[in-house]
């Protein structure tokens, strides 16, 4: 089944969905859930709620993953016809230099382009490696004949148009998947796989569980509202951050003890690690120092829930990301074990 999840991740990453324009991705997951017979609803801000009825409807769970991604928006049409951009979410400009992109106009027409340093040509700009990669120097070169701002506007491109980046998704022969936007489409694909398997086997969940597919997580407030009052436990099903000083890797499930918002619920975190121990699921516990999740956003908004966070280990987050099928397998195993486990006692 894990190989099928990789294919679902690939499909999801190829649907453009920067925060603020995730409609097509939300619709894709919504149609998938409804074809399986699950009730769905869409919140006013555009998030998707899929509810699976459980034996206990008094105490409920919510598991959230986000389908929105990083991206950009047209900030200015420059005199030479190229586009100045404003970033959506936490991209660093050096992580997107040279990337192919698509400009999505309000009319529905799209244009391809490339995110470039204005002073790219080494034959013209001496020592251009020393030029800062920032909003002042980075721009989009449009794949259209345009010599000035008037030409560009005649194409239908305007300030405020969304820009999505080419995900460049590949599944390797040895079962790595590398792509932009594994954060957090890998988790969404695992939820979709769980929903399909659960419908085929018809196993009743111990608690009514809401799968909240958020569309604004990358800008800080994806699933902090519309949380049903009966929800007691709230899981952010997101990526594990890898790097120096981290224990997490691309081959295990990563469980977060603390991020930039503070510690996660201790007993819920211990419950997750115990599930891994009991079920022989390979896992790592980590602190993500520069990270926030929909679970931490929910607490800031006043939700009275026990909050936790786990997900696949994702290498090079917010750039060209990668993970391995073994991390997907471990993460999916913990997801299932958690859903069918008892609630954490106070």
> Binding site: what residues are annotated?
66, 183, 218, 238, 318
Nearest in space to 193 (alpha carbons), one of 339, 57, 46 = 339
- Backbone angle region of 108, left / alpha / beta, with phi > 0 → left and psi within -120 to 50 → alpha: left
Q: Are 189 and 25 in contact (CB under 8 A)?
A: no
Q: Where are the alpha helices (DSSP H) in 215-265?
A: none
How does strand 231-237 pair with strand 262-263? Answer: unpaired
Nearby residues of 204 by Cβ (< 8 Å), 6 or more positions away: 54, 55
Q: Which residues make up each annotated binding site for Zn(2+)?
A: 66, 183, 218, 238, 318
* 266 token code pair: 């201790």
Is 315 an active-site residue? no
Instruction: Report how far residue 267's alpha carbon sits from residue 346's, in angstroms, rounded to the nearest whole number.
Output: 8
In DSSP notation, 157-213 reads: --TT-EEEE----EE-TTSEEEETTHHHHHHHHHHHHHHHHHHHHTPPEEEEEEEEE
Nearest in space to 212 (alpha carbons), one of 193, 236, 180 = 236
Nearest in space to 315 (alpha carbons), one of 182, 130, 197, 135 = 182
Instruction: Report how far residue 133's alpha carbon sits from residue 95's, in angstroms, rounded to the nearest whole number.
Output: 10
Instruction: Catalytic residue, from 99, 139, 217, 250: name it.
Output: 217
Known catalytic residues are 217
């Amino acid at each position: 089944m894990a190989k099928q999840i990789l294919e679902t991740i690939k499909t999801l990453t190829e649907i453009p969905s920067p925060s603020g324009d995730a409609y097509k991705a939300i619709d894709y997951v919504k149609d998938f859930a409804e074809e399986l017979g699950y009730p769905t609803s869409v919140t006013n801000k555009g998030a998707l709620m899929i509810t699976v009825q459980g034996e206990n409807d008094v105490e409920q769970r919510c598991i959230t993953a986000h389908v929105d991604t990083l991206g950009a928006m047209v900030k200015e049409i420059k005199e030479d016809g190229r586009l100045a951009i404003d970033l959506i979410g936490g991209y660093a400009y050096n992580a997107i230099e040279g990337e192919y992109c698509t400009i999505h106009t309000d009319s529905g027409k799209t244009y391809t382009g490339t995110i470039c340093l204005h002073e790219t040509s080494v034959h013209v700009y001496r020592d251009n490696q020393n030029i800062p990669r920032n909003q002042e120097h980075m721009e989009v070169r449009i794949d259209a004949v345009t010599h000035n701002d008037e030409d560009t506007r005649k194409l239908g491109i305007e300030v405020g148009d969304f820009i999505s980046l080419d995900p460049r998704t590949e599944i390797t022969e040895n079962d790595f998947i590398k792509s932009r936007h594994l954060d957090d489409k890998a988790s969404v694909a695992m939820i979709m796989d769980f929903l399909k398997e659960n419908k085929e086997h018809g196993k009743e969940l111990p608690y009514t569980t809401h799968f909240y597919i958020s569309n604004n997580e990358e800008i800080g407030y994806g699933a902090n509202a519309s949380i049903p009052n009966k929800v007691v436990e709230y899981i952010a099903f997101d990526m594990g951050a890898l790097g120096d000083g981290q224990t997490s890797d691309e081959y295990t499930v990563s469980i977060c003890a603390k991020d930039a918002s503070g510690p996660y619920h201790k007993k819920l975190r211990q419950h997750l690690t115990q599930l891994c121990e009991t079920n022989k699921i390979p896992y790592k516990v980590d602190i993500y120092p520069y990270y926030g999740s929909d679970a931490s956003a929910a607490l800031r908004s006043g939700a009275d829930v026990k909050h936790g966070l786990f997900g696949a280990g994702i290498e090079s987050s917010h750039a060209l990301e990668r993970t391995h099928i073994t991390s997907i397998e471990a993460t999916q195993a913990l997801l299932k074990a958690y859903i069918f486990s008892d609630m954490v006692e106070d």
